[in-house]
Amino acid sequence: MKSKTGLLLATLLVMMQSAHAADLIVLSAAAMKGALENLPEQYLAATGDHVRLVYGTAGQVRDRAVSGQAFDLVIVPSEPLAKLTERHLVEKGSQVDIARVRLGVAVKAGAALPGINDDQAFTKVLLDAPSIGMADPATGATSGIYLARLIDRLGVGGTVGLKVKYYPEGQTAMEAMARGEVSLGLGQISEIKPVHGVTLVGPIPEDLQLVTTYAAGIGTKSERPDAAKKLLSYLTGPTVQTSLKANGFDLVLPAN
């Protein structure tokens, strides 16, 4: 009898916890994918709330939000987040900077590491590379848009452009390099470090850099704003911040 009573109480407790648990949808830029890989499991263990991450380029995330796709949190670069706020799709005042990331160069694991210490060396690496992989600007990828313009700005677009192979995201470009499809990878460092079989050469020269700040905000149509606020706070906590740093992000200090 006692065992049956205990089982019933345990079942009721699980049902009560499930009734109060939230199912949160997060639209996130793909640059965060490696750093947030374990977030759903960790957050469920810590809070009992479920998190579903939906990834895409910054442009794709913006388009999904504008088209009316449901979300509780959105994580994109600061500028598109501000525009979503202007369109009343993100709650004003809820925006929080999460981390920053730079652009880098990568090669397949085991390949010689080229020198990219200055603009001239970096340009030579682009010219010498048999093939280059990076995110497709047409998908709205932050890195792809900037790098395509940078290659033109360096005056080598006509030559280098013929060798570039575009991929849906920066991380898929790195995965392709690991398979041997291209010899050089360009993209955000956070999309390089999580990929097995590639080696980060280093960041591109600082005067050519694009430093992107990723920020999060709460959707104005979220049906669980309190739970979304709790998740937003968790993103700035030690568990996620440690993962961000390990995956190539620069942490955003509170004073910034």
The answer to whether residue 238 scores a pLDDT higher than 60 is: yes
Half-sphere exposure of 204 (CA within 13 A, CB side): 28
Q: Which residue has the higher pLDDT, 140 or 11?
A: 140
DSSP state of 254: T
Tens digit of pLDDT for each residue in 174-203?
999 999 999 999 999 999 999 999 999 999
Residues 6 or more apart from 219 whose CB is under 8 A from it?
65, 70, 71, 72, 73, 74, 89, 90, 91, 228
The answer to whether residue 12 scores a pLDDT higher than 60 is: no
> What is the chain's mean pLDDT, rounded?
92
Tell me what pLDDT residue 22 has.
77
The answer to whether residue 254 scores a pLDDT higher than 50 is: yes
Tens digit of pLDDT for each residue in 211-227?
999 999 999 999 999 99
How many Å apart are CA 17 and CA 21, to the nearest integer? 6
Tell me what pLDDT residue 3 has.
52
The answer to whether residue 158 scores a pLDDT higher than 60 is: yes
Decide which of 3.20.20.140, 3.40.190.10, 3.40.50.300, 2.40.110.10 is the CATH code for 103-208. Answer: 3.40.190.10
Tens digit of pLDDT for each residue in 82-122?
999 999 999 999 999 999 999 999 999 999 999 999 999 99
The answer to whether residue 80 scores a pLDDT higher than 80 is: yes
CATH architecture under which domain 2-100+213-251 falls: 3-Layer(aba) Sandwich (3.40)
The answer to whether residue 17 scores a pLDDT higher than 50 is: no
Q: Quick one: average pLDDT of 224-251?
A: 96
Q: Quick one: average pLDDT of 245-250?
A: 95
Share of the chain above pLDDT 90, in %: 89
The helix or strand, by DSSP H or E, that contains position 19, with its residue range, turns out to be helix 2-20
Per domain, the residue ranges of the chain are 2-100+213-251, 103-208
Q: Quick one: average pLDDT of 216-244?
A: 96
Say yes or no: do domains 2-100+213-251 and 103-208 share a fold: yes
With cut-offs at 50, 70 and 90, classify the pLDDT of residue 62: very high
Distance separating the N- and C-terminal Cα atoms of the chain: 61
Tell me what pLDDT residue 13 has.
43
